[in-house]
Amino acid sequence: MEFLISTFRNIPAIRRSLLLAVVILTALGNVHGRHKVHKWETVEYSAISCRAHTASLTNFGGVGDGTTLNTNAFKTAVDHLSRFQSDGGSLLYVPAGKWLTGSFNLTSHFTLFLDKDAVLLASEDENDYPVIAPLPSYGRGRDNDGGRFISLIFGTNLTDVVITGENGTIDGQGQLWWDKFHKKELQYTRPYLIEIMYSDNIQISSLTLVNSPSWNVHPVYCSNIIIQGITILAPVRSPNTDGINPDSCINTRIEDCYIVSGDDCIAVKSGWDEYGVAFGMPTKQLAIRRITCISPTSATIALGSEMSGGIQDVRAEDIVAIDTESGVRIKTAVGRGGYVKDVYVKGVTMKTMKYVFWMTGDYGSHPDNNYDPNALPVIDNINYRDMVAENVTIAAKLAGISGDPFTGICISNVTIEMAPKAKKLAWNCTDISGISSGVVPQPCELLPDQGTENVAPCNFPTENLPIDDMKVQTCSCRKKIY
């Protein structure tokens, strides 16, 4: 210290003044910085896997100003963090801000985590979405022949992937895409917000998804999937903005979601006509619980229409539908092949509906003219129980296929309050068979009333599905707060 004081005294006066000013400003800056820069906060969240390594998007050049394109920052971050797959996995933290980006891919043993004030903004530039091949079980894109724009968040051949947060937002900025769709200006099928293919152990949770160009969440050819605590919002007239579409997936759990959609809130699929038959991968062992749906032109839960690989063992319970066209709708057609069977629904509350029950055997859209006209779908063992509806226009429209009736339909303990201007024919049934019990108003003759004293309620399995054994744990990550 004496040496420093002596040295300072030997500096000429003007230089001493300048040096002293620098020292004082530096000290003030350090004090100011300690109060302004940041401190750390620990955030807890639920996930199928916790991660050993964490990084922020800002570490890779991300800028959350809503105008800077962050596609390369996301790609660089994921590429860097992929090296930790075998070392406890990694988490990419997206801080508060508006993060404009095009499509980017995920990696295995990886978590994408959005801060509560983070908004991931999808680019409106088609060039930010590479064109990829159509799904093999579809043979073409849904909007057009040929390929499709890759989804905003995409992954394939992955294991152990989590997309979650503190209800941060993914905004698809879909208006431009909807306009192009209506004007027939699209060369390829619109991108989805999230699509995961050929993957295992997937969690998508605690997010808000808005204004998707098309479907919101699309797991396809996947297994062991949890989709939980998602809010999905789209204008009710936006085209094909399905909420959640499990597609040729095995062992899936969808629960505690709120969906406002321009199409089906949940659409269960498994391939389209001859392509789905050839691919042969069904959707099965699907649990849907505690879902609220608003969709004035579509279904709460749709089974099909692309169901050619088969749909089996679907269990839906504790469902609320408000101002929605139909409850659970089965959609199929001649040429589809495949099957929808072993469907169990209970505990549904509906308010302001066009249809409570709707089955369609003539949903005739086809990918091309090469479908097999002799490929008839099998619809069997469809069970509905413990349901209440009010302000309903038509109780049921159940239309099977001539020569290929829908069988094993069971409806029990259902009360439907018809709207003041309801159709005179509450039940319209053709080419179906089954039974009913305790249903008001009285079902059609093809669903004869068995009497509540003579028949047990329609079946709903009591044993758990395998996905119920897939548990989440409490994890934590550190974030900077300012």
Active site residues: 263
First to last CA, the chain: 36
**Sign of the four-CA dihedral 146, 149, 151, 154:** positive
Q: Three-state SS for 482?
A: coil
The full DSSP string for 190-241 is: PPPSEEEES-EEEEEEEEEEE--SS-SEEEES-EEEEEEEEEEE--TTSTT-
Q: Using alpha carbons only, give the angle 267, 125, 365 rounded to the nearest 5 degrees.
A: 30
Residue 59, φ and ψ in degrees, nearest 5? -65, -15
Question: What is the C-alpha to C-alpha distance for residues 301 and 265, in angstroms, rounded to an integer?
Answer: 6
Write out the DSSP string of 277-323.
HHH---EEEEEEEEEEEE-TTSEEEEE-SSBTT-EEEEEEEEEEEEE
Four-CA torsion 405, 410, 413, 415, nearest 10 degrees: -10
User: β-pairing, 473-481 with 39-47?
Assistant: antiparallel
Taking Cα atoms as reference points, which of 376, 377, 427 lies closest to residue 398?
427
Instruction: Look at residue 19 and give its three-state secondary structure.
Output: helix
Burial class (CB in 10 A: 0-12, 13-18, 19+), 422: middle
- Are 165 and 204 in contact, with CB atoms under 8 Å apart? no
Q: How many residues does the chain have?
A: 482
